[in-house]
Amino acid sequence: SQQGEEDPQALSIQEGENATMNCSYKTSINNLQWYRQNSGRGLVHLILIRSNEREKHSGRLRVTLDTSKKSSSLLITASRAADTASYFCATDEGSGGSNYKLTFGKGTLLTVNP
């Protein structure tokens, strides 16, 4: 089944460093989204990248998508302690599946140390 898998499962860095998280998925997609979750509660949408896009920026976030490798990366530059959270990628089911269902990976737990 379609599923995003994040890598690494956990990442610990110092404030000011960059954080890179990766997501791999199995079948074709129309778009991929990244979400952030604080303290096991509600998720907050960060950014969406479409299958015909290769890179997208939003503030300190940079997302890349390689559809040939079925992978995406999320880069957070100049990290802050407040960036500490779990980060999830979510993929749709592509042209062969539903046009509404998203599948979330298990997430990367990012810890930014002051």
Partner 1 sequence: GAGVSQSPSNKVTEKGKDVELRCDPISGHTALYWYRQSLGQGLEFLIYFQGNSAPDKSGLPSDRFSAERTGGSVSTLTIQRTQQEDSAVYLCASTLVGWGTDTQYFGPGTRLTVL
Binding-site ranges for partner 1 (CB under 8 A) = 30-31, 33, 35, 40-45, 48, 50, 88, 90, 92-93, 98-107
* 18 versus 38: smaller Cβ distance to partner 1: 38
Helix, strand, coil abundance in the chain, percent, nearest 5: 5, 55, 45
Buried b (16+ CB within 10 A) or exposed e, 60-95: ebbbbbeeeebbbbbebeebeeebbbbbbbbbbbbe
* 39 versus 114: smaller Cβ distance to partner 1: 39
Distance CA 63, CA 58 (A): 9
Shortest reach from residue 16's CB to partner 1, in Å: 28
Reading the block at residue 61, the tokens are 């976030």
Shortest reach from residue 110's CB to partner 1, in Å: 14
* 41 versus 114: smaller Cβ distance to partner 1: 41
* 80 versus 101: smaller Cβ distance to partner 1: 101
Shortest reach from residue 100's CB to partner 1, in Å: 5
